[in-house]
Amino acid sequence: MKTPRDVTTAHLQQRFQEKGLKLTPQRLAIYQMLMNTEAHPTADDIYHAVKPTFPMLSLNTVYYTLTAFKEAGLVWEVPVEHASSRYDANMDQHHHLVCLDCGKIEDLYDESLVCLRPPTANQRGFDIRMHRVEFRGYCEACRAKQGASQDTALSNRSMSQS
């Protein structure tokens, strides 16, 4: 499970320099927001979380910053069908459970997936360095809603047949 990381500003500055990025106060705030959440926020979520501290911040700056972070290998972009991409600063090897209804994303740590390496990759001369797996389905809350609406539909159908 991802936990908030107590990373010093000096450590982040070093990490950003290694990636060729200048550590501005806005970038620091955006990165810390991502490091301290398990919610996999959208750019819009990040913008609204950081804007009170930086009133002049624009949504365009957030997108630009996320692109720079992604290109530097500091965050993962998690695409969500029919919705805005989500972002994850947890670069540990893990996978995702993605709800097809509400778009909720949960981190999944499963030892059986860590060693997932297709044997044919080596035969094709492909050297795998990392992998990501996304399981798509319905979260518990959405399944409960679906069950309730199915129960209502069945109840209405049986009442109309009486």
**Which residues are known binding-site members?**
99, 102, 131, 139, 142
Residues annotated within the binding site for Fe cation are: 131
Nearest to 95 by CA among 83, 112, 82, 81: 112
d(CA 92, CA 124): 27
Residues annotated within the binding site for Zn(2+) are: 99, 102, 139, 142
Token code pair at residue 123: 């035969």
Which residue bears the tokens 């047949």? 161
Task: Give the full edge-to-edge strand order of the sheet including 134-137.
Answer: 105-108, 95-99, 134-137
